[in-house]
Amino acid sequence: MRRFRYLVHCIYVFLLLGLPCLATAQPQAASARQTTGYLVFVRGNPLGRELVTFSRDQSGITITTQGRMLAPLNVTVRNAEFKYLSDWTPTTFSLDATVNDSLLQLKTTFANGKAATEGIAPGQEVSVAHDVAPKTLIHVNGVFGSYVALARRLVENSEEGAEFRVYVVPQMEIVVKVKGIHRERMQIATTVLDVRRFELVYANPSGDVAINLTANDDGGLVRVNIPADSLDIVREDAASATSRTQIQSNPGDEPVTIPAVGFNIGATLTKPTKSGAGAKLAAVVLLGSAGVGDRDGVIQGVPTLAQLANAIAESGMMAVRYDKRGNGQSGGRSESATVSDFAEDVRAVVRWLEKRPDVDPKRIAVAGHSEGAWVGLLAAAREKRIAAVVSIAGPSSTGAELLLEQQRYSLDQLKLAPEERDKRIALQQQIHSAALTGKGWETVPPQLRKEADTPWFQSLLAFDPAKVLEDVRQPILFVHGGLDRQVPVEHVEKLSDLARKESKSKSVEVVVVRGVNHLLVPATTGEVSEYGTLPDRNVSKDVTMAVTTWLSKTFASIR
């Protein structure tokens, strides 16, 4: 019998870069019997829904799920059933589904340390058996209800450093490691829930994958976040526009609502804990990277913007971070937003700050990370109210050039055959051409077109920082991690040279922070594969010091 392939591949266009696949899953919880709906999002765009029922009695535990996922998954789950004994010993799993309109039916039996699976998959029969641990958890790619059992096991055995065995039907057993446990608060409308966020590492054959899983104290799954794929599985009430997770709470945090054009922006204002009455403070607007919609700027478990906001407040300035349009507590539509639209949102925040009595309107800056650096530069080019710009890990090339550069690097890491490497690069170039011109989509796989044929992706590909810098007049600071592998340090050299030659700025400074990766945290290699195992999840103090020192000096000259 042929070796069974992965049922569903990782999501979205950047799959072409070689991102690892893993057992994805979904959700619910209850004491006797409870049914809950979960929504699935990629890059903030809705992909599908699953309805999950959890029941527990003297005979054991049963989890059932039904759902429908749109392209690129194209999965319809008519019924999936996970059965365990009361002590979480797995007994059976069954699946009745279709993938790309092809039948997928599996039945797995667990007994005597073996997991035996029989059934049919698209284009082949399945008959495999693997050795498994006595209390392995059952996961299935594309069936997000798989995470329900893991959420409960995590809460029942909340211990940092714990390891769980997970059997990915019908492929292999892998290890899930608990790297961190964080107590957090989730706000849903006016209700605040105490939740636990577990930082997990899935030890996949293709490399470790970081996952954040959030659960109630009773073990009910609330959210699963897979940063590498920009994938979120969220309980329906927690997915509403009135919901947000307070990933990090700084001493001077204050929730605010900022009016934009046609919608409101949900934001957090962070003030210094000590400031004189009636004082007018300098303010900094913080901007997150691509694929990160929440105001805290969480990437691989690192709340980059929240930590930057705290450092800025501690240095005596005010910081604003906000949910991108269509995310968290912000209105608007994320699926139609472009880089230009995000820059207009920045201008709305700046205008709101200018009117506040506790803000000095002459000392408002923007600081953006990665794609946020581009958004900040574009906003500064359009808005004279912005007094200074900080670009952190900003790319120097066009978006299309950057993605191809990242893809080539990732493919080199995979050590593919030259013909396979060239084939993937050619497809990526074909997608870029179709997205930019609107022509040639007929030869692009439909699921990839769905992900790439969007206003945001087109605007990202076409963005050219060299052209934007021509209209930037403000002082600019470029900060870059010396171990950045996603946007290599060579970019900051080229970007700063462009700023000195092309912009109208009279002050351009560069700081390269040694030993820091793209997440702005200390690293050994800087590789993406290292993210899930990094012991330090705090933005480097060398990064925050570079930013706050330069801002304080720059603002002092404006007084």
Per-residue pLDDT of the chain (559 residues; tens, 9 = 90+): 333 332 232 322 322 232 333 333 333 333 468 899 999 887 667 888 999 999 999 899 999 999 998 877 788 999 999 999 999 999 999 999 998 888 999 999 999 999 999 999 887 899 999 999 999 999 998 898 899 999 999 998 878 889 999 999 999 999 999 998 988 877 665 566 788 999 999 998 878 888 999 999 889 999 998 887 778 899 988 776 544 555 567 888 888 999 998 899 999 999 998 876 778 999 999 999 987 888 988 887 788 999 999 999 999 999 999 999 988 788 888 878 999 999 999 999 999 999 999 999 999 999 999 999 999 999 999 999 999 999 999 999 999 999 999 999 888 888 788 898 999 999 999 999 999 999 999 989 887 888 889 899 999 999 999 999 999 999 999 999 999 999 999 999 999 999 999 999 999 999 999 999 999 999 999 998 888 788 888 999 999 999 999 999 999 998 6
Using CA atoms, how far residue 299 sits from 41, 172, 216, 350, 472, in Å, is 16, 28, 22, 25, 28
Using CA atoms, how far residue 300 sits from 147, 165, 233, 267, 403, in Å, is 18, 22, 16, 21, 20
Angle at 354 between CA 352 and CA 356, to 5 degrees: 75
Residue type, 440: G
- Contact (CB, 8 A) for 311 and 542: no
CATH class for the region spanning 247-397+464-556: alpha beta
What's the half-sphere exposure (Cβ side, CA atoms, 13 Å) at 182? 21
Q: Helix 339-354 and helix 371-382: axis angle, to 10°?
A: 60
Using CA atoms, how far residue 266 sits from 226, 254, 259, in Å, is 23, 11, 9
The CATH 3.40.50.1820 domain(s) of the chain lie at 247-397+464-556
Q: What is the largest CA-CA distance in the chain?
A: 76
Helix ranges, 122-246 (H): 147-156
- What is the layout of strands, in order, in the sheet containing 359-369? 253-259, 264-270, 318-322, 281-287, 359-369, 388-392, 476-481, 508-513
**116: Cβ contacts below 8 Å, ≥ 6 apart:** 108, 109, 128, 129
Q: Which of 151, 207, 153, 200 is nearest to 180 (CA)?
A: 200
How high is the pLDDT of residue 435?
93
DSSP letter assigned to residue 237: G
SS3 317: coil
DSSP letter assigned to residue 540: -
Token couple for 259: 């009016």
Backbone angles phi, psi at 7, to 5 degrees: -65, -45
How high is the pLDDT of residue 247?
52
